[in-house]
Amino acid sequence: MRLRNALILIAPLLGGCFPFAPLGTDVYAGYLSFSPTGDLGMEDSTSSQPLSDIKIDVANGYDVDDTGAPYIRVDIDGTKWDLTASAFYFEQDGDLILPTKFGDLPAGSTVHSNLTILNTKVGVTYAILDAAFVDVGVGVSLDYFDIDMDVRSSAPLVGFEEIDFRAPVPMLFARASAGVGIVAADLEVGWMNIHLNDAKGNFLDIDGRVSVSVAPLVELFGGYRYVLIDVLGDVDGQAFDTDLELTGWVLGGLISF
C-alpha cells in the first residue's frame, strides 16, 4: 500500500518538471501469473569450479513452480509526455536435493530455497507519433530490481548461502498504443545492458495489454509480461551468475479519472 501511494504521488511531481498537461489518469490492479525459467549459480569461497559447471535450473533444480503475484500500475497521459509507474512482487519456496554445489553448500545437500523478486518501474515517454488510432512514444524508464535467493541446508551440513542483488537499472523505453471503439491495446519495451558497481547484466522488460471498456471509465484488461534478468556479479567475494526469465499473463481491471 505504501509503495502504490508513493508511485501515485511521484507521477504528478515529475509531470511538473516537463511541459506536461495531464489529460487523464488510469489506475490498474490485477493478478500476474509467472512461470520462472533459466538458471542460477554461485561459486564456493575458493572458486574451485567455473560458474558454467555449477549453474542450476531454476524450475527443476530449485523446485520453483508457477506462481501468482499482485500487479499494480498507474498511467498519467499528457498532450506530449506520458508517465507510467508499475510494480510486482514474486515469491516462491521449494524443498530439494542440490544437484550440484551452491556456494559452499555441497551437491547432495537437503535444502530449502526461497526466491523473491520485487520490481518497480517508472517510465516517461514523449510522443513521436500521434495519429487517429495509434500513438507511439519514446523515452527512458527506471526499473528497480530486488532479487533474493536464499538456500538453507539441513543435511548433511547445516548452513546457508544467499544471493542478494538490488539495483536501479535505467532503460531505453518505448511505448505504443492503439484503439478502435471499446477495444485498446498497449505495448511497452524497455532494454539496457549495464555495468553496475559489483555486477553487470542485460535487462529486458516487455509488457503488453489489451483492454475492453465495460462501463464509463471502467475497463477490463488482459496481457502478457516478459522480464529477462541476466546478471553476472559478486557477493562477498563469491561470483554468481543469474539468467532468469519471468513470463506470464496478467488479468485485471482499470479505472480512469
The reported pTM is 0.83
Q: Please, are residues 137 and 126 in contact by the beta-carbon 8 Å criterion?
A: yes
Tell me what percent of the residues of the chain surpass a pLDDT of 70: 91
Which pLDDT tens digit goes with each residue over 70-109? 899 999 988 889 999 999 888 888 888 998 888 889 999 9
Taking all residues of the chain, what is their mean pLDDT, rounded to a whole number? 86
Domain extent at residue 142: 2-256
Which residues does 173 contact at the CB level (< 8 Å), separation at least 6?
A: 123, 124, 125, 138, 139, 140, 141, 188, 189, 190
Residue range 5-61, pLDDT digits in tens: 333 333 444 444 444 455 789 999 999 998 888 898 888 888 778 887 888 888 777
Asked if residue 85 lies in contact with residue 74, where contact means CB atoms within 8 angstroms, the answer is yes
Shortest CA distance to 174 belongs to which of 246, 230, 126? 126
As for how many domains the chain has, the answer is 1
169 membership: H or E segment, kind and range: strand 159-180
Assess contact for 241 and 40: CB atoms under 8 A: yes
Degrees (nearest 5) of the Cα angle 111, 114, 118? 165
Which residues face 81 on adjacent strands?
126
Taking CA atoms, 155 is separated from 3, 84, 105, 121, 198, in Å, by 39, 47, 10, 40, 32
C-alpha cell at position 91: 515469491
For residue 121, what pLDDT is reported? 95
Instruction: Note the pLDDT tens digit of each residue in 62-78.
Output: 767 778 888 999 999 88
Q: What is the CATH number of the domain that holds 63?
A: 2.40.128.90
**Cβ of 110: how many Cβ atoms within 10 Å?**
14
Give the span between the Cα atoms of 246 and 206, in whole angstroms: 10
Residue 49 grid cell: 569450479
- What is the per-residue pLDDT for 26? 94
